[in-house]
Amino acid sequence: MFTILCVGILIVWTFESSWNPISGTLGFWEGKEIRFGILNSSIWEVATTVASNGSVNSMHDSFSPIGGLVGILNIQLGEIVFGGVGAGMYGMILFVLLTVFLSGIMVGRSPEYLGKKIEKREIQMSILGILLPSTIILLFTAISVSVSDALSSLTNRGPHGLSEILYAFSSGAGNNGSAFAGLNANTTYYNVMIAIAMILGRFGVILPVLVIAGSLAQKKRSEIVSEGSFSTEGGTFYILLLSVIIIVGALTFFPVLTIGPILEHFIMFQNLTF
């Protein structure tokens, strides 16, 4: 998962250092401290969003559209790089179990992980733990862009306003705490909605993981590796796991990211800002 971290830093640093068509200067310096510079600000933005950190050394709301997108997506994937405080690596374990299941289907063998068979119950709980937080983020964002009380908190309109709302619920449901600060979230509407997103987003992952843990604890571990079973230690499994994260995790949010930061990126080159 170190690959995800490095790729994220490279993307953010590249776009933050690129030509800014709005100011006509090289680099997106708004919201960044000179003592940290663009590189250290980019590293911290990625590091704080891949874990349940929440601290910032620059204003994420002022990042370039693609730079902000990376931060949003990191949170939405569910703390799969470093794990989360008080949570550990269970976000990654859900993707691992799903990958083990898919690899077992491909080789025609019963999926196994750490010597224990992965069966219907584990897969159902893995899918629930992956999809429930995603559903909460997308549903609450959709509700918020349709409610006047929610829209009145925006200081930026257009696709950037959508990104601010999306970041707020991603951060809440994803156990992060950082924000696109252009959104005034200290209102009755957002205090209630984000609190609900926090409860559902956290327990929506914790409870399925506990069910999986209890189910696996009851199973006997096989010390004999079945012939033809898919190894979880090689490069092939790593590539398959990364593919599952991209397809199942990232593409879940691709439509809303398209009309948010991606659209804003292209509009920016028309010398329009929000």
pLDDT tens by residue, 22-40:
887 888 999 999 999 999 9
Q: Are 40 and 162 in contact (CB under 8 A)?
A: no
- Break the chain into its structural domains and give their ranges: 2-268
Q: How far apart are CA 66 and CA 18, in angstroms?
A: 11
| Environment class of 107 (CB within 10 Å of its CB; exposed 0-12, middle 13-18, buried 19+) | exposed
pLDDT of residue 224: 66
Q: Classify residue 113 by its DSSP letter.
A: E
pLDDT of residue 273: 78
pLDDT of residue 226: 62
Backbone angles phi, psi at 20, to 5 degrees: -100, 105
Three-state DSSP state, 75: helix
pLDDT of residue 229: 67
User: Which structure tokens are listed for 123?
Assistant: 């897969």
Q: 138-181: per-residue pLDDT in tens?
A: 999 999 999 999 999 999 989 999 999 999 999 999 989 899 98
Instruction: Kindly give the parts of the chain with pLDDT less than 50.
Output: none
Residue with tokens 């080789």: 107
Three-state DSSP state, 146: coil
Q: Are 229 and 109 in contact (CB under 8 A)?
A: yes
Strand partners, 113: 116
Backbone angles phi, psi at 116, to 5 degrees: -120, 140
pLDDT of residue 225: 62
Q: How far apart are CA 181 and CA 167, in angstroms?
A: 10
pLDDT of residue 43: 96
C-alpha distances in angstroms, 69 versus 53, 61, 93, 256? 18, 10, 24, 11
Strand partners, 116: 113
Whole-structure pTM value: 0.92
| Environment class of 187 (CB within 10 Å of its CB; exposed 0-12, middle 13-18, buried 19+) | middle
